[in-house]
A and B are shown apart, each in its own frame.
Chain A
Amino acid sequence: MAGISFRDATRRYAGTNAAAVSGLNLEIHDGEFMVLVGPSGCGKSTTLRMLAGLEEVDTGEIYIGDREVSQLPPAARDIAMVFQNYALYPHMTVGDNMGFALRMAKVPKSERDRKIQEAAKLLGLEEYLDRKPKQLSGGQRQRVAMGRAIVREPSVFCMDEPLSNLDAKMRVRTRTDIASLQRELGVTTVYVTHDQVEAMTMGDRVAVMNEGVLQQVDTPLALYDRPANLFVAGFIGSPQMNLLDGVIDDGAVRVGGYTLSGTPGSWPRNGRVTIGVRPEAWRIVPAEEDGISIEVNVVEELGADGFAYGTSSNEATPHHVIVRVANRYSVRKGDVLRLAVDLDKAHVFDTETGQRLST
């Protein structure tokens, strides 16, 4: 078992202009469950594949423990990977699939069988050991892929969207299965997904990437509460954070004619900013109070609570505003709501650089 450290790791594919991953610096602790998340094409898989040795590291280094691995072949890195398509060997039985790495490592047959049995028991695969992968359901194949990784007792697990081929219900179940299995085994894990709910529920920490650049690494809640920039603010959270055009004017923060309540802070400068408000951060206030008015277009009832989607009449942000309505049946399409927000619940970003300004 070991921690992982990316140091300025960069990968540029031949014939492309922008680096798929550029200057990545990331420390992953021993035994940690690290989730890489970001939109399609942001370089998550490339990062994982560099770690596994399936993709070259053009510049920079990668350490596993205190070993520099970026020049080692995959076989020498002691990493087990779960692929998106599972990549089970179709010509081998489930048992042989799980035991393949042990056989390559010349582990004696009796010990091999014992380890396969153990893993099969853990994953509920005992009765399928003699089947071929194509005789299994999608969920079972997924578990075989997991089993193949855990029998090896590697120092690192890599998983590239291992749940994306499962149906919604299985995905939720397997999500918790994988997370608790990882906690039990304590193996350092790097998990790639584009689904931010997966990222938030599974990761000890989450690394958000965009266009090959790491945006922020932190615990799920810290990402949610203190996004470092506009990208993370917009990416993490569902429904999305409201992003409104605003200005800083002598310490006060205004959106159109509305001045956010709370004590004026000390900002680096006056000028245009973007103000982020989570749907649950709004207060619904009486119409005569200061605030932003929206006309509700859609109410999304989720059972426990709901979200109202409306159009703002504020001259600065004449667009969609999302607000959580806890009290069901209280809001209907066509209603006009008055929304206010406290400055300490809002996130202020520099519109030009996208960086967070509020503390």
Chain B
Amino acid sequence: MTATTVNPKARRMGRTGRMLIALVVVALFLAYLSPVIWLVMSSFKNRVDIFTTSPTVFFKPTLDNYTVAFQDKGFGANLQNSVIIAVISSAVALLVGIPAAYRLSRHGSRFQGAFLLALLSARLLPAMVLSVPLFVLANKVGLSGTYLAVVAAHLTFAIPFTVWMMRGFFLAVPTSLDEAARLDGCSETAAFFRVVLPLTKGGIAATAIFLLINSWNEFLFALILTSRDTATLPVGIPNLLTPIGTFWGQIAAVATVTVVPICIFAFAVQKYMVAGLTGGALANE
């Protein structure tokens, strides 16, 4: 009703308002990022620079922390373990979860609701509750300390997560599309691969990223189920807190290698993540 009278004023206010908002955003951004910045900078500092009472932005960078941690102290192996475990558990979760999710999005059955709820409740259990039984179980069947044990533990989260995520994306694809494909000569499987899957690429990318990040960051299961040889990066870090001192520079180096790839990865595929998270927009509108 008062739109015409208020508008010009609102626009003037809007300009300063937008500036203010931009300032707040930048401030928040820096605040959130500051630990990461501190971490990355510390990883390139020598002992003296790290412990100086007047920290400085300008210092003589060194790669010593990286070479010591990853070559001399064996964190290269941890890095490799992290990659193996994250990739395998994510791949298995996608391979198992995507067909399951598709099926659950297409064929209503009497037990579907109960099944989905069961999946969800498995996800809602605190990891701590599962950790002890899993530890005992892994020992009993002699899997303790193997990749398989950690991968299996990660899958307890990863598969339900994939099913729930992907089911949402599949539900956003109208069933009439697969039906059209089946009438056009596709088997049910061909309809899935040729029509449904291409439309949910974004969703799959988003799910894959969440899975990778989750396995990569996971600490508790990895701690109790891995041995020295199979420990992941987060599990390895506490080894740098030793009786003869805490190697802050090396901790920073390992932590940087843990955190930075995720940031870069997420940034590189953010287009897909956004597309994936707004899934429905892709289909018939």
Contacts and interface: CB of A to CB of B under 8 A. Distances in A.
A105 interface: yes
A115 B45 CA distance: 69
Interface string A151-185: 01000000000000000000000000000000000
A101 B184 contact: yes
A86 B186 contact: no
Contacts of A63: none
B187 interface: yes
Interface string B158-195: 00000000000000001011011111111100100001
A14 interface: yes
B285 interface: yes
A87 B174 contact: yes
A87 B177 contact: yes
Given A85-B284, A90-B284, A105 B185 contact: yes
B284 A91 contact: no
Residue in B108, B184, B185, B187 with the greatest tally of chain A CB atoms within 10 Å: B184
Contacts of A79: 183
B9 interface: no
Contact of A83 (B176, B186, B190, B285): B176
B183 A52 contact: yes
Interface in A51-90: 52-54, 73-75, 77, 79-81, 83-90
Nearest to B180: A87
A210 B283 CA distance: 33
Residue in A15, A77, A85 with the greatest tally of chain B CB atoms within 10 Å: A85
A87 B182 contact: no
A86 B176 CA distance: 8
Contacts of A54: 179, 182-183
Contacts of A84: 176
Interface in A316-347: none
A100 interface: yes
B282 interface: yes
B285 A134 contact: yes
A7 to B, nearest CB: 22
Contacts of B177: 87, 89-90
A47 to B, nearest CB: 15
Contacts of A134: 285
Contact of B282 (A86, A87, A90, A101): A90
Contacts of B184: 75, 80, 100-101, 104, 148, 152
B199 interface: yes
Contacts of A100: 181, 184
Nearest to B173: A90
B199 A81 contact: no
A87 B186 contact: no
Contacts of A85: 174, 176, 284
B183 A80 contact: yes
B60 interface: no
A181 to B, nearest CB: 19
A74 B176 contact: no
Contact of A75 (B174, B176, B186): B186
B283 to A, nearest CB: 6
A100 B187 CA distance: 13
B198 interface: yes
B110 interface: yes
A104 B179 contact: no
Nearest to A88: B284
B182 A89 contact: no
Contacts of B182: 53-54, 73-75
Given A87-B174, A91-B198, A148-B180, 18 more contacts: A14-B110, A52-B183, A54-B179, A73-B187, A74-B179, A74-B183, A75-B186, A81-B179, A81-B180, A81-B183, A87-B176, A87-B177, A89-B177, A100-B184, A104-B185, A104-B186, A104-B190, A148-B184
Interface of A: 14-15, 52-54, 73-75, 77, 79-81, 83-91, 100-101, 104-105, 133-134, 148, 152
22 contacts: A14-B110, A15-B110, A52-B179, A54-B183, A73-B182, A73-B187, A74-B182, A75-B184, A75-B187, A83-B179, A83-B180, A84-B176, A85-B284, A87-B174, A90-B199, A90-B282, A90-B284, A91-B198, A100-B184, A101-B184, A134-B285, A148-B180
